[in-house]
Amino acid sequence: MAKNTSCGVQLRIRGKVQGVGFRPFVWQLAQQLNLHGDVCNDGDGVEVRLLEDPETFLVQLHQHCPPLARIDSVEREPFIWSQLPTEFTIRQSAGGVMNTQIVPDAATCPACLAEMNTPGERRWRYPFINCTHCGPRFTIIRAMPYDRPFTVMAAFPLCPACDKEYRDPLDRRFHAQPVACPECGPHLEWVSHGEHAEQEAALQAAIAQLKMGNIVAIKGIGGFHLACDARNSNAVATLRARKHRPAKPLAVMLPVADGLPDAARQLLTTPAAPIVLVDKNMYLSFVMISPLTLTKSG
């Protein structure tokens, strides 16, 4: 064997392994185990190349997988290093035929919610907050592998502060592709009959219209939502007429999950945060929201 060459191992990891903080996780795990090699995204998932034996690495890979990730398979084969690695690095993503799963968007995680609601934080009241554990994925991807240049976030160059977070292995935004802040990321805008407002003023304008009983179109990361005050029967009736939905239940947004069944609260706090079906309760009249009444039999 040539000088400075050695036989290592190449791991091919498939599943939900892009857009979930998987490369930073692999990097941190390699640091803990003092391994040498690299990791990268490509069209087929994630590729890990190691100089050392991977057994302990593989055990911990499965035991401590990131919350949004799912490993479906791991293939291994020998790999000859032409130059011995002296550290473990995140290698530039490779192209190839798209053959990996795209992860769905994830609800804002508790850490980001706390940051967004803490005065003095850089992202205080910033609605587009995200990290490696939450935020948009599927709806912002234009191509694979999942890297910022292949998402809609390519239009928003990182400011120095966000770039520092992105490159810091100890930060929860290490290699978080949608990372942004009020200085460099997208911001709220309000447009209505020639009126225009931005950021906090845009939010307050929308709130004012909802309180007046009007319908507001909210552009989210995956499309538009038509919203109104659920306590205003006239507004709900208008919304139903415009949507041509005379009876189908409408989704209701609440500030807190207090009073909901345990099963519903648990679902609402998962990364998927789906719409859940619950019984009509006491503090809102849902006659217009859900006019149909279910009865138990037997």
Catalytic residue at 41? Answer: yes
- Which structure tokens are listed for 277? 């079906």
């995140």: which residue's tokens?
Answer: 90
- Report how far residue 13's alpha carbon sits from residue 30's, in angstroms, rounded to the nearest whole number: 15
Using an 8 Å Cβ cutoff, are 111 and 151 in contact?
A: no
Q: Which of 23, 137, 148, 172 is catalytic?
A: 23
CA distance linking residue 234 with residue 31, whole number of Å: 60
Q: Per DSSP, which regions of 146-222 are E strands?
A: 189-192, 195-198, 216-220
Nearest of 69, 91, 88, 85 to residue 30 by alpha carbon: 88
Q: Both tokens of residue 85? A: 């690695």
Q: Tell me the two tokens of residue 35.
A: 């391994």
Rounded-to-10 torsion of CA 92, 93, 95, 97:
160
Which of 12, 14, 41, 123 is flagged as catalytic? 41
With beta carbons less than 8 A apart as the criterion, state whether 159 and 181 touch: yes
Residues recognised as catalytic = 23, 41
